[in-house]
Amino acid sequence: MSDFDDLLQANREFAGSFDLGGFDGKAHAGIALVTCMDSRIDPLGMLGLRHGDAKIFRNPGARVTPQALEALVLGVHLLNVQRILVVPHTRCAMASATEQELRATIGESAGVDASWASFDVVTDQLDQLRQDVAKVRTHPLIGERAKVGGFLYDVDTGLLDEQV
């Protein structure tokens, strides 16, 4: 018996009606999205997109990390990405606590000292969004090759608000 039996069973049911085979892996709507890992966000649904339309990169706080930049460069040059959205959201845990508070919470939950851990909290969400969008726009392998915008997603209304 596996700790994942329920998920494997759900996967078998999913595979029974699977009709997404044969996709070429490109972003058919030309969209890439960097957003948070928060489960309140439906990246495709909030933009009216379907499977195969977009490349989605998720991480805590919707940050443009080196890994996100790598994914965006690949998307622009190999996967038909022409527009990039950076989309943090309201009521984000990464923008609602200090680094020290998160370390304390994680340490308490883990039962070990977490004072050494770095979680890259966001102290000013809109300023960070401006910085992250600028990072993408000025990247030498992206630059003018894609349109880049920064948006804030409201987890209570489902609406996007263009910020940058």
Q: SS3 string of 94-114? A: HHCCCHHHHHHHHHHHHCCCC
146 three-class SS: coil
Question: According to DSSP H, which parts of 51-153 are helical?
Answer: 66-78, 99-110, 125-137
Q: How many domains does the chain have?
A: 1
- pLDDT-flagged residues of the chain (< 70): none
Q: For residue 94, what pLDDT is reported? A: 96
In a domain? residue 117 = yes
Token pair for residue 124? 């000013």
Q: For residue 62, what pLDDT is reported? A: 98
Domain that holds residue 117: 24-162
In a domain? residue 14 = no
Cα gap 104→146, rounded to integer Å = 40
In a domain? residue 3 = no
The Cβ of residue 120 has, within 10 Å, a number of other Cβ atoms equal to 13
Q: For residue 1, what pLDDT is reported? A: 86
In a domain? residue 116 = yes
| Confidence (pTM) | 0.95
- Could you tell me which residues come within 8 angstroms of residue 130 by beta carbon, excluding any fewer than 6 positions away? 150, 163, 164
| CATH of residue 84 | 3.40.1050.10
